[in-house]
Amino acid sequence: MKITNLTDNLFLIDQKATYTCGLDLDGEVVLFDSCLDLSIAKKIDKLLGKKIKAIFHTHSHADHVGGDFFFYNKYRCDVYIHKNELSFLSYPYLEPSLLYGGAAYTAITGKFLKAEKIETALPFDSALDLLKELNIELIDLSGHSPAQTGFKFKDVIFVGDALFSEDLIDKYKILYLFYPKSYLKSLETLESLEYKKIIFCHKGYLSKDEALEIIKSNKSHLFEVYKTIYKIADGKTAEEITDILIDRLEIHINMDLISLVNSTVKGYLSWLELDNKLRVYYDKGVRWKQIQ
Ligand SMILES: [Zn+2]
């Protein structure tokens, strides 16, 4: 783990698997996302050696919020997130349940998909004065999660999981997205927004020009999956479509990954329905039919 100063008070935390960042306010630190679990939280705490004043979250996924309980118990810091993801922090069982589409099976309730709960988390609306004082703008980057949010610090933006590296797309074949249609809109926001540097969690610290290339790759991935699902959807359930994709793309699944892929497929199906390309019907399962 390594800390790199980006400006006079903004710093990057390289957690190996992910990037997060923080603002140094002399005696105290504001974090932007925490980490996966207790052991990583302890390492960050040791490395910083300062009191955590607050944690702002891009979104509620366990690998971004799993260290909160340690920082909250030690410093009683404020934890902020978009109001539409607040319930996921106070009731973490919602995350695996959303992925599965009902009460979750135990194999998807491990630390990667279900964090320790934080019952005291607050919506961003409660932090407007602090955000103004720190000169931070919020950016709507929903899509990967229902209300994923980016933070703009003058010329640097921290966007959480609103962008993924090409390596990650190659590795997982299907990016986890709650609603791919909104993810596309977020990518367009990242194209049009003014900034010099962008940080995304898995994993990049890039100039705007470099980011534009990665945005292009994310968009082509999105359109490719959209077209593929449209072509194979006729007469099939979401689970059958998922099974075909796993086979065709040679995705190495486990019980975690299967819920992520299947949930993402449902997000694309919803987008295709809205575009009037597919309609839903029931015949021994919820199935999809091509319209055009
Ligand atoms: Zn995420």
Q: What is the 3-state secondary structure (H, E, C) of 97-113?
A: HHHHCCCCCHHHCCCCC
Three-point CA angle 92, 37, 153, nearest 5° = 85
Helical ranges in 145-234 per DSSP H: 166-172, 180-192, 208-232
pLDDT at res. 232: 97
Give distance in angstroms: CA of 202 to centre of ligand 1. 9
pLDDT at res. 158: 98
| Residue 191: pLDDT band with limits 50, 70, 90 | very high
Give distance in angstroms: CA of 160 to centre of ligand 1. 7
d(CA 108, CA 6): 36
pLDDT at res. 47: 96
**Mean pLDDT of the region 286-290:** 98
Q: Does 210 score more than 80 pLDDT?
A: yes
Give the domains, in start order, of the chain with CATH numbers. Answer: 1-134 (3.60.15.10)
Q: What pTM was computed for the model?
A: 0.96
| Residue 179: pLDDT band with limits 50, 70, 90 | very high
Percent of the chain with pLDDT over 70: 100
Q: Does 292 score more than 90 pLDDT?
A: no
Chain length of the chain? 292
**Mean pLDDT of the region 88-103:** 97
Give distance in angstroms: CA of 256 to centre of ligand 1. 14
pLDDT at res. 225: 98
Residues in the 5 Å CB sphere of ion ligand 1:
61, 161
pLDDT one-digit tens code per residue, 16-39: 999 999 999 988 999 999 999 999
Give distance in angstroms: CA of 47 to centre of ligand 1. 24
* Mean pLDDT score across all residues of the chain: 97
CA torsion angle for 262, 265, 266, 267 (degrees, to 10)?
A: 130
pLDDT at res. 26: 87
pLDDT at res. 109: 96
**Mean pLDDT of the region 116-127:** 96
SS3 assignment, position 23? strand
pLDDT one-digit tens code per residue, 148-176: 999 999 999 999 999 999 999 999 999 99
Give distance in angstroms: CA of 287 to centre of ligand 1. 28
Helical ranges in 104-143 per DSSP H: 128-133
Give distance in angstroms: CA of 61 to centre of ligand 1. 5
